[in-house]
Amino acid sequence: MEHQEIINELSACGALLNGAFILPDHRIVNEWYAPAKAFQYPPLCRKLSYEIVKHFWDMDVQVVIGARIGALPFAAEIARQLEARLLWRSSTDTVFYESLAIHSGDRAIIVDDILLDDISPYKPIGREILSQDARLIGIASLIDVTTRKTPLNVRQISVVKREIQEIEAINPVQILERA
């Protein structure tokens, strides 16, 4: 898919929101994202996932890890296309959902819906991968709003790279913590 086609699809399904939004870190920005609006449509989720899969196809990915519940449909489709196992965590799990585990020698990617500069959600996953003698080879997301490359020192792939513009607004919409 071309970049503008992706933006048009995200806008059409309501995943790309324009207005004034206050983030949990108290910044007010001119746009925000609702990736679940895109993930609810399997054909669109499949197309968006392929934009990630094509970057990891030749890397023998064995495990796809959904970093948040909100990223689970996206991670599941990426795992399906890569023919890899799927692991995930809920917002209350320290590492993985009960009875799921990474194994020695696994090559893994972490998938999130929106990639932010705050990498704290990925640290326990990264530690678990290293403790099991597995290898983290990449991090992927639908939307990347980072201002710098992640310090995880792995391939960082996103379907869309966006730059958040801070603005001043009187009554911005509150963006809650992501699940």
Query: What confidence tens digit (pLDDT) does each residue in 40-67 have?
Result: 999 999 999 999 999 999 999 999 999 9
Q: The domain that contains 139 carries what CATH number?
A: 3.40.50.2020
Query: Could you list the residue range(s) of the whole structural domain that residue 38 is in?
Result: 3-174
Would you say residue 179 lies in a domain? no
Would you say residue 32 lies in a domain? yes
Would you say residue 130 lies in a domain? yes
- 148 vs 45, higher pLDDT: 45
Would you say residue 36 lies in a domain? yes
Greatest mean pLDDT range, 45-49, 97-101, 113-117, 166-170: 45-49
- 178 vs 87, higher pLDDT: 87
- 163 vs 150, higher pLDDT: 163
- 92 vs 20, higher pLDDT: 20
pLDDT category at 121 given cuts 50, 70, 90 is: confident
pTM of the model: 0.90
Domain count across the chain: 1
Structural Rg of the chain based on CA atoms:
16
Would you say residue 28 lies in a domain? yes
Mean pLDDT of the chain: 89
Query: What confidence tens digit (pLDDT) does each residue in 67-99 have?
Result: 988 899 999 999 999 999 999 876 666 667 777
Would you say residue 17 lies in a domain? yes
Distances (CA, A) of 173 to 11, 18, 25, 27, 28: 18, 11, 13, 11, 9
Sorted by sequence, the CB contacts under 8 Å of residue 118 that are 6+ apart come out as: none
* Rounded average pLDDT over 8-23: 92
**Are 126 and 26 a contacting pair, CB within 8 Å?**
no
Q: What is the pLDDT of residue 56?
A: 97
Would you say residue 73 lies in a domain? yes
pLDDT at residue 169 is higher than 70: yes
Would you say residue 160 lies in a domain? yes
Strands 63-66 and 107-115: parallel
